Amino acid sequence: GENVEQHPSTLSVQEGDSAVIKCTYSDSASNYFPWYKQELGKRPQLIIDIRSNVGEKKDQRIAVTLNKTAKHFSLHITETQPEDSAVYFCAPRGGSASKIIFGSGTRLSIRP
Amino acid sequence: DGGITQSPKYLFRKEGQNVTLSCEQNLNHDAMYWYRQDPGQGLRLIYYSQIVNDFQKGDIAEGYSVSREKKESFPLTVTSAQKNPTAFYLCASSMAWGAMGETQYFGPGTRLLVL
């Protein structure tokens, strides 16, 4: 089945600096690549996604880049702020009949 | 936010007891899902339903059961066969199964504790 790995598992950055989280997957048929954010005690919420025909997508301070050849995609957060502190999950989807598999999560902490 | 509700927020289970977690959505979504989240861990799929009157086992279905008699409802029963049920349970829905319904919308979760 699909194997999804997320790195790093924890990340601490100074406020204002950038953060990058990487997700690797094994299913070459994967065609949808989202990132979810889960604040402490809350539900996960989609923050950005990308499809296999696009290499990069940006939404204000967050961006997602996709490298289909290498089978990984990354979340980039620039000018980090305290409210960016959360756990971030990738959840690539394989072929259209496949289940979504969530990565193990990255706990991002923003230092003041 | 909104559109998917879960109840109760906290649930306590005694030994040998079956408990049912409620999940309701008013988004008119076809697909619904149940995930289990343990402290510091990711989300593991318990059961999913592509459409009403249909459901499939996920990766950790043992000790759990579901039903999907109505489009808007997907209750999860944690049976006494589930020996380690303490976890945070998240229900989710998506517009459809497959290419049109990848984005998942989550409920607020139910925290299950064993007495």
Q: What are the residues whose beta carbons fall under 8 Å from the beta carbon of B39, sequence distance 6 or more? A: none
Q: How confident is the model at residue A97 (pLDDT cuts 50, 70, 90)?
A: low
pLDDT, tens digit (0-9, with 9 covering 90-100), for A76-86: 999 999 999 99
Q: Do A100 and B109 touch (CB under 8 A)?
A: no
| pLDDT: which is higher, A58 or B114 | A58
Distances (CA, A) of A57 to A49, A65, B94: 8, 7, 22
Is some CB atom of chain B closer than 8 A to the CB atom of A92? no
Is some CB atom of chain B closer than 8 A to the CB atom of A73? no
Q: Do A99 and B45 touch (CB under 8 A)?
A: yes
pLDDT, tens digit (0-9, with 9 covering 90-100), for B42-97: 899 999 999 999 999 999 999 999 999 999 999 999 998 888 999 999 999 998 87
Cβ(B115)–Cβ(B55) below 8 Å: no
Closest by Cβ to A32, choosing from B40, B102, B107: B102
Asked if residue B28 has pLDDT above 60, the reply is: yes
pLDDT at A111: 95
> 3-class SS at A36?
strand
pLDDT at B78: 95
Alpha-carbon dihedral sign for residues A75, B3, B7, B36: negative
